[in-house]
Chains A and B, each alone.
Chain A
């Protein structure tokens, strides 16, 4: 089956750079996605990597290495509003639904 591992908590200060890692085990691979969820809110899609390399979207970037079954989300110029939980996700074996990691809680302090 599919499984994902990510750190449970990360702390950083405003203006810093933080990297949230995700390792996965899958029977088939259809890409790695990242979602952000503020406390009590709905998850929102951040990025998707289907191929190896870096995808950049503003202050956020996401990286994938399929040979290492590893990816990360890079957040630059951290702001207080970036305090949230971040989830990596991969499709299930059939490629019909997503399986989510347990999430990484990012706390940004001033």
Chain B
């Protein structure tokens, strides 16, 4: 079955540590996205990538980094510079011509202690 996987579902880290969240898709989509969701809030765009080896900052990129070395993979690193990293992180993908219809992974809930 085609889809997007994110791992792990729950992640705990100590303050000051970098942590990398995994996102893999086998939908053959060119575009991939990372969103952050806080309780009672909408989805805020962190980074997105339209093609391998290229990515753009979203609205809240500070304290985060990404890479896009393969079409299938778009990992997100939450660095120690991110002041409030505890949140629900969602990865999505779409074809580059239909960005309005995005497919989401199950999400990773990150808690920084």
What is the interface of chain A, defined by CB distance below 8 A to chain B?
8, 30-31, 33, 41-45, 48, 50, 87, 89, 91-92, 95-103
Contacts and interface: CB of A to CB of B under 8 A. Distances in A.
Contact of A95 (B40, B45, B99): B99
Contacts of A95: 99
B107 A42 contact: yes
Contact of B50 (A8, A44, A96): A96
A87 B102 CA distance: 13
Given A87-B42, A103-B42, A98 B102 contact: yes
B45 A97 contact: yes
A100 B100 contact: no
A44 B105 CA distance: 10
A48 B102 CA distance: 11
Interface in B16-52: 31, 33, 35, 40-45, 48, 50
B106 A41 contact: yes
B99 A98 contact: yes
A91 B99 contact: yes
B58 interface: yes
The 4 A-B residue pairs with the shortest CB-CB distance, nearest first, are A42-B104, A102-B42, A100-B43, A100-B42
Given A96-B56, A100-B43, A45 B101 contact: yes
Contacts of B33: 97-98
6 contacts: A33-B100, A33-B101, A50-B100, A87-B42, A98-B99, A99-B45
B87 to A, nearest CB: 13
A98 B90 contact: no
A40 to B, nearest CB: 8
A97 B48 contact: yes
A92 B101 CA distance: 14
Contacts of A33: 100-101
Contacts of A31: 100
Given A42-B105, A42-B106, A98 B45 contact: yes
